[in-house]
Amino acid sequence: MATLPKEQDVLIDAFGPHLNRMEGRQLDTGVQPDKVVNTHCCFCGQQCGIQLKVKDNAVIGFEPWYAFPFNKGMLCPKGVKRYLQGSHPDRLITALERDPSSDTGFRPIAYDEAIRKVAAAIDRIQTAYGPNAFGVLSGASLTTEKAYLMGKFARVCLKTKFIDYNGRLCMVSAGAANKKAFGIDRAANPWSDILNADVVVIAGSNTAECAPITTNYVWQARENGGRVIVIDPRITPIARTADVFLPVKPGRDVALFNGILQLMIENDWLDHEFIENHTVGFEAVAEHVKQWTPKRTAEVTGVAEKSIRQAAELWGQAKTSFLMHARGIEHHSHGVENCLSTINIVLASGRIGREFCAYGTVVGQGNGQGGREHGQKCDQLPGWRDISNPAHREYIAGVWGVKPEEIPEAGVDCYEMMRKIDAGEIKGLLNICFNPKVSLPDNAFVTRALGKLEFFTVIDFFLSETAQHADIVLPGSLHEEDEGVVAQVEGRVIKINKAVDPPGDAKEDWRVIQDIAQALGRTHGMTFNSPREIFDELRVASKGGVADYFGITYEKIEANNGICWPCPSEDHPGTPRLFEPDSWNPIAKGAGPFYFPDGKARFNVAAYRPPAEDVDEEYPVILTTGRVVSQFLSGTQTRRIGPLVDQYPEPRIEIHPKLAAKYGIADGDMVTAESRRGDITLKAQVVTTIRPDTIFIPYHWPGRKSANQLTIAAQDPVSKIPEYKVCAVRIRKA
Amino acid sequence: MSVPAQFEFFVDPNRCIGCQSCVAACSECDTHKGHSMIHLQYVQRPISVQTVPVVCMHCDSPTCAEVCPADAIKRTDDGVVQTARKPRCIACNNCVLACPFGVPKMEVEYSLMMKCDMCYDRTSVGSKPMCASVCPSGALYYGTRDEIERARPRSEPVNKFRFGNQIITTKVNMMVPRDSTMQHIDGQHIDVTAAMHEEPVNPSGMLENVFDEIG
Amino acid sequence: MTFGRVGEERIVALLWGVLFTAILGGLIVFGSRTLAHFDAALVGYTFATLFATFAITYRYSMWLQRPPTRTYWVRGWQLFFSRKYLARNIRNWFAWVISDFAMNRFIFRRDRKRGLAHALIMWGCILAFAITFPLVFGWIHFETVPGDLTTYRTYVFGFGTSSFPIHSMAAFLIFHGLVWSAFLVIGGVMLAMRRRMRDHGAAAVQRFGEDILPLVLLFAISVTGLLLTASNTWMKGYGYDFLALLHAVTVIFTLLWLPFGKFFHIFQRPAQLGVSFYKDVGALEGMARCRRCDTEYAPLIQINDLIDVERKLGYRYETDAPEIEHYQRICPACRRSMLALAQGDLWQATTQTTART
């Protein structure tokens, strides 16, 4: 019965979000901290180093960690104020049970009792409907140890095939494309390769707001003489001073990159030798892009032909380059093709696998990289192994001490799981580190689906909008309350260090999971005593896989400020740059630098398809969604931090004055945007920094302020990423 | 304790991305904890995302101090113009109105002017100011002249600014293109008054054109 | 500023100093009935006070002659007495004196402990001054009522006023007034010292002479004063002469320090009232509009005065552009934007090469 136990405002009153601000010891300038802990920020995939000041088992402030090489003390405002999530009035310090008769909708219960109830419900549902009737949703902000444990918990303990994670909303298009083109999914280069690149291409990345630290790398490249090309429907801060700006119409990226490739071919800006020796499939792609003449490209993409030519010229003639992309081109029903079309221009240029010759996706979530490597994805086993590959199953079964046939088959992506819940196939759900009610598209449907669950349990540190639906809420751990590793944007495995103990009844997430396993009486393989023990098993589980962590140890990470995987043995220094000409990998076995048996990279034909829902007379305006710098994802944490909320308190609709004029909208007016799935009414921000055919709404808010009331659940057929970046809406003055 | 002479502050507003990290971090500094002294503002949001961070430039001859009727603003020997001395400041607002860079802030409820003191608790013991520590775009940088010259081959620091007929020399530097041709009146300086009628321009002039074509 | 001007200022300040010192001297002679009630043992205190008066007046006068201070001094009085606002100003005067001076509201808002420390020190000092100065100068003295050895009469400037029994509670409170004030001051000093010793922010900017010494002096005066009472009350006057000397030294040193250190704010601070009138009335008289963004940003009178002050100080913020006239006529927010635009222009010139179509 996972409907809300009380009205939304009653729940908000009781459990927040309330705003935490500096007070008491945080504001006292006379307090001497007990210790200062070197760790990383809990938010995005940049994973900036930060030092947390701790006093009496509470985080009271931060100090820049100047010695950490990636960010050298730099932080975005989220990093600066992250410490305010600790000692928060909304922090869950007991287990809660849904109780509509109580004042707040929930009543605190003893932790052990809660665990027993969760186990009993799991047992009941699985006994009644079979093991696959219970599903698990996990997240990519968990440490890699926890991500690994979640995958193992689902397959070994729950024996369910239904596990997936919120990386599905984030990195999967890039992952799938990388796999297709390179055979490995990781940024190919360290960020230091940005610094001396002749050309930096930033496609669909609001870098300044979503990966702020990367800005300094890009500016540094420019300082060294590099040029910057930005592709985005909005003039974001990184685009403002770009040398070439391509304001692409949302959903037309494939056309743009195909057009650029066509110009490269036309002008022979190709690295024939590289194409010949290190790639497969160029001819088919070359044939395919012939149709993408500059004229047609301009027509489809809404970018001036001249700009396309300028970009192609800069890119084509560059000696070195760094191409990066992010959700802007990935959040599409053809997200994989978008990524493949960018990879095609990289491969055609031959600029990869060398210093300052680089390609990479800007990972979104804190462990967006590590969280997608070790088996919490529906079709994956640790070490980036394939759950449908018998050899892979056998190896992991050996590590886990089970029979290969006991490992369930591949499940489905998280949105499909919602559909299965809606259809009654999945009856029970455990959710951790995921706020699907806010973050999934068409959230009216998600809410309906959650309401159909017979049993729903959530492990969280705050009562997120999703947790409000839970029958039992288990108090888990904040980032600073546990240790473990994450892999940041460069594929560098770094160490999160524990600063404080979980308060009250709250426990480290891995303990909570193991307590459930114990209550179920299924303790096999679920008896770790520390994250280090989990990591040591993970190292073995990943050994010989593409994402090989075997040679990485906690000590080695600390000593080197992180180790880039693959790192197959303890004497291996890690691999900051992939695809170096003479590099060895376990797939090619010396045949070449790429992760295919022949060692060659793949060109993939990326055919242009319009967005799933294009504009029409009825819904004539494109809606695109994204982030603001002061909020993070579904805002479970950042909407509770006062200074971050002050910075951008409410979502607004960004709209170009031309479009605004058409509807008589002035800056500050309330405007309703309506799609086929829902509507939203927000204040208009009339600015010339967005395409006149497009409006933008940031997505961090729940309920009636949620942009995902409007977005469409259309998904990429391969990666299953939802199309957050384009849908059709109509607007009117409210 | 004083700020070591080899460390300097360099500002490059052109790099600013408006993230407000500096604003957030500023309030973490012990000399003004809970209060952000740095200014970060959009230059003209309706037409541009251009933003500008403004820290105290620490003038050699600080107008704010000289127009202070209470004699509350002091420049220490290391060149840092300190925040108003609490017993003296009478909250007249003169400094706020007189500063050519628009730096001091009036905390009305405290009857007190507060301003950026380059995080004196940090810089006077050899550490870096909060804003320049966290700034993720390098718009605010604190280090040696040698470091900045190596890191920014296209840029050079300037510390003279022209307002009307007045040239103001500051301790804090602003980065300008190395090959830029500036008017020379009293050494190299940035003519701020000349920007009176400027509007933010998106350097890629193609932007407006493209959007015009869309209609 | 020329040397001659400085010299002139000094002469003016000197004359004011002499005048005020002379007036105080006259009052001492007059108030003590040509020194009839003057306690010769207190001559050190008296001369220290006379010196402090001279030096404070001198410094105050020098201060008032600085262009900005003079402008606000004159303007403050002008606006205060302007017929149009006099009633309003008098009302405000009471409100502000109570909230700012008596209650230190603005300090409490900065930090409650800090407010408490200041209030304790301030009221302790006010009480102590109110008791000691009249006594030292012979302005107040007590005599037994003729024919009644159990009753004291208070004489003010030699004129008899009320009387009270020697063994009453009132007598106890009055004769121990300095003890109470010492307790107040010690409490305040302890709070202030605690802050100065543990606060990292304060540690960075405090100076011994400016911030610590005054606290040390107040503490020394209070403690030595209390020791005098203790010696007198419980120890049969043990070491009284030495303690009296020690106490005198602390007091005299503080008096001599008054014009130089932090204590000078006691005399400077009332200017805040003038500024309050200036801002209040100034805003009523009309606001200046920014020449760039056309929004109101400050009282016009203050901007005009500031321009005048800056000219006197030798600044040349005038511009040749008639639409600006003077940089002061642009609001602070626009000044910040212009700074960005000016610098951005220089960079724009370098990025345009490929961009312009």
d(CA A114, CA A94): 10
Facing residue for B49 by CB, picked from A29, A216, A235: A235
d(CA A97, CA A104): 11
Average pLDDT over residues C293-317: 95
pLDDT of residue C354: 43
Q: Report the residue of C198, C343, C347, C348 to disrupt the A interface, i.e. the one with the largest count of A CBs within 10 Å.
A: C198
Examine residue C281 and state whether it is found in any structural domain, yes or no.
Answer: no
Q: Report the residue of C293, C337, C354 to disrupt the B interface, i.e. the one with the largest count of B CBs within 10 Å.
A: C337
Tokens encoding A475: 């108090």
Asked if residue C343 and residue C229 are part of one domain, the reply reads: no
* % pLDDT > 70, chain A: 100
The model's pTM: 0.94
Q: How does residue B45 score in pLDDT terms, banded at 50, 70 and 90?
A: very high
Contact C339/B at CB under 8 A = yes
Task: For residue A320, give the DSSP letter.
Answer: S
Bond before A566 cis per omega within 30 degrees: yes
C6 contacts: CB under 8 Å, gap ≥ 6: none
Asked if residue C225 and residue C174 are part of one domain, the reply reads: yes
Total domains, chain C: 2
Examine residue C249 and state whether it is found in any structural domain, yes or no.
Answer: yes
C199: chain A residues, CB-CB within 8 Å = 29-30
pLDDT of residue C27: 87
Neighbours of chain C (3+ CB pairs under 8 A): A, B
Q: Report the residue of B36, B41, B137, B201 to disrupt the A interface, i.e. the one with the largest count of A CBs within 10 Å.
A: B137
SS3 state at B106: strand
d(CA A238, CA A229): 10
Contact B194/C at CB under 8 A = yes
* % pLDDT > 70, chain C: 96
pLDDT of residue B192: 93
d(CA B152, CA B146): 10
ipTM for the predicted complex comes to 0.95
Among C80-94, C199-213, C326-340, name the most confident range.
C326-340
Examine residue C176 and state whether it is found in any structural domain, yes or no.
Answer: yes
**Nearest Cα residue in chain B from A641:** B24
| Cβ count near B102 (within 10 Å) | 22
Facing residue for B176 by CB, picked from C203, C346, C356: C346
Structural domains of chain A, ranges and CATH numbers in brackets: 95-170+367-490+506-547 (3.40.50.740), 188-361 (3.40.228.10), 621-733 (2.40.40.20)
Say yes or no for a CB contact (<8 Å) between C200 and A30: yes
A79: chain B residues, CB-CB within 8 Å = 21, 134
Average pLDDT over residues B181-187: 57
Task: Note whether B51 and B17 are within 8 A (CB).
Answer: yes
Query: What's the CATH code of the domain at B131?
Result: 3.30.70
Chain A nearest C-alpha distance from B94 (Å): 29
Say yes or no for a CB contact (<8 Å) between C272 and B33: no
d(CA A451, CA A470): 10
Say yes or no for a CB contact (<8 Å) between A245 and B51: no
pLDDT of residue C3: 47
Say yes or no for a CB contact (<8 Å) between C198 and A314: no
Tokens encoding A494: 């770094």
Asked if residue C304 and residue C225 are part of one domain, the reply reads: no
Asked if residue C332 and residue C200 are part of one domain, the reply reads: no
Least confident of A169-183, A246-260, B167-181: B167-181
- Which residues between 648 and 707 in chain A have a beta carbon less than 8 angstroms from any beta carbon of chain B? 656-658, 667, 685-689, 691-693
* Residue at token pair 């978008």: A338
* Residue with the larger pLDDT of the pair A612 and C131: A612
Q: Report the residue of B92, B101, B106 to disrupt the C interface, i.e. the one with the largest count of C CBs within 10 Å.
A: B92
Total domains, chain B: 1
Least confident of A560-564, A710-714, C46-50: C46-50
> Which amino acid appears at position A55 of this protein?
K
pLDDT of residue C160: 82
- Which residues between 126 and 165 in chain C have a beta carbon less than 8 angstroms from any beta carbon of chain B? none
Q: How does residue A379 score in pLDDT terms, banded at 50, 70 and 90?
A: very high
What would the pLDDT profile of A52-86 be if each residue is shown by its tens digit? 999 999 999 999 999 999 999 999 999 999 999 99
Say yes or no for a CB contact (<8 Å) between A302 and B153: no
Name residue A626's beta-bridge partners. A698
Q: How does residue C355 score in pLDDT terms, banded at 50, 70 and 90?
A: very low
* Residue with the larger pLDDT of the pair C159 and A151: A151
Contact C268/B at CB under 8 A = yes
A36 contacts: CB under 8 Å, gap ≥ 6: A51, A52, A53, A54, A63
What would the pLDDT profile of C64-83 be if each residue is shown by its tens digit? 999 999 988 888 888 888 88
Examine residue B101 and state whether it is found in any structural domain, yes or no.
Answer: no
Task: Note whether C338 and B196 are within 8 A (CB).
Answer: yes
Examine residue B18 and state whether it is found in any structural domain, yes or no.
Answer: yes
Examine residue C282 and state whether it is found in any structural domain, yes or no.
Answer: no
SS3 state at C145: strand
pLDDT of residue A655: 96
d(CA A534, CA A532): 5
Examine residue C169 and state whether it is found in any structural domain, yes or no.
Answer: yes
Asked if residue C121 and residue C39 are part of one domain, the reply reads: yes
**How many C-alpha atoms does C273 have within 13 Å on its Cβ side?**
20
d(CA A5, CA A96): 12
Examine residue B134 and state whether it is found in any structural domain, yes or no.
Answer: yes
What would the pLDDT profile of C148-200 be if each residue is shown by its tens digit? 878 888 888 878 888 888 888 877 887 788 899 999 999 999 999 999 999 99
Average pLDDT over residues A643-647: 97
**Nearest Cα residue in chain B from C275:** B92
Asked if residue C45 and residue C150 are part of one domain, the reply reads: yes
Chain C nearest C-alpha distance from A293 (Å): 20
- Decide which of C238, C273, C308 is a domain's last residue: C273
Average pLDDT over residues A131-141: 97
d(CA A318, CA A316): 6
- Decide which of C243, C273, C303 is a domain's last residue: C273
Say yes or no for a CB contact (<8 Å) between B70 and C69: yes
Average pLDDT over residues C291-315: 95
d(CA A579, CA A181): 12
Asked if residue C298 and residue C241 are part of one domain, the reply reads: no
Find the domain containing B153 and state its range: 7-55+119-195
Is residue C356 scored above 50 in pLDDT? no
d(CA A388, CA A392): 8
Say yes or no for a CB contact (<8 Å) between A30 and C195: yes
Asked if residue C212 and residue C325 are part of one domain, the reply reads: no
**DSSP symbols for C49-64:** HHHHHHHHHHHHHHHH
Contact C322/B at CB under 8 A = no
* Residue with the larger pLDDT of the pair C130 and A341: A341
Neighbours of chain A (3+ CB pairs under 8 A): B, C
pLDDT of residue B181: 65
d(CA A686, CA C326): 33
Is residue C1 scored above 60 in pLDDT? no
d(CA B69, CA A331): 60
A6 contacts: CB under 8 Å, gap ≥ 6: A100, A104, A105
**Nearest Cα residue in chain A from C347:** A241
d(CA A490, CA A324): 12
pLDDT of residue B211: 57
Asked if residue C181 and residue C89 are part of one domain, the reply reads: yes
Find the domain containing C327 and state its range: 287-355
Whole-number mean pLDDT of chain A? 96
Examine residue B123 and state whether it is found in any structural domain, yes or no.
Answer: yes
The closest alpha carbon to A210, from A193, A229, A234, belongs to A234
What would the pLDDT profile of A672-683 be if each residue is shown by its tens digit? 999 999 999 999
Say yes or no for a CB contact (<8 Å) between C354 and A306: no
**Nearest Cα residue in chain A from C344:** A241
Least confident of A497-506, C137-146, C284-293: C137-146
Task: Note whether B130 and B122 are within 8 A (CB).
Answer: yes
- Decide which of C273, C308, C343 is a domain's last residue: C273
What would the pLDDT profile of A388-436 be if each residue is shown by its tens digit? 999 999 999 999 999 999 999 999 999 999 999 999 999 999 999 999 9
Say yes or no for a CB contact (<8 Å) between B46 and A81: no
What would the pLDDT profile of C230-264 be if each residue is shown by its tens digit? 988 888 888 888 998 999 999 989 988 888 888 88
**Nearest Cα residue in chain A from B42:** A237
Say yes or no for a CB contact (<8 Å) between B165 and C337: no
Chain B nearest C-alpha distance from C339 (Å): 6
pLDDT of residue B67: 95
Q: How does residue B202 score in pLDDT terms, banded at 50, 70 and 90?
A: low
Is residue A451 scored above 90 in pLDDT? yes
Asked if residue C137 and residue C42 are part of one domain, the reply reads: yes
CA A503 to chain centre: 28
Sign of CA dihedral A635, A675, A174, A397: positive
Q: For residue B104, which phi and psi values (nearest 5 degrees)?
A: -60, 150
Examine residue C280 and state whether it is found in any structural domain, yes or no.
Answer: no
Asked if residue C219 and residue C294 are part of one domain, the reply reads: no
d(CA A160, CA A129): 12
Is residue B214 scored above 70 in pLDDT? no
What would the pLDDT profile of B52-108 be if each residue is shown by its tens digit? 999 999 999 999 999 999 989 999 999 999 999 988 999 999 999 999 999 999 998
Q: How does residue B208 score in pLDDT terms, banded at 50, 70 and 90?
A: low
Say yes or no for a CB contact (<8 Å) between A692 and B211: yes
Average pLDDT over residues C103-108: 90
pLDDT of residue B183: 57
Examine residue B113 and state whether it is found in any structural domain, yes or no.
Answer: no
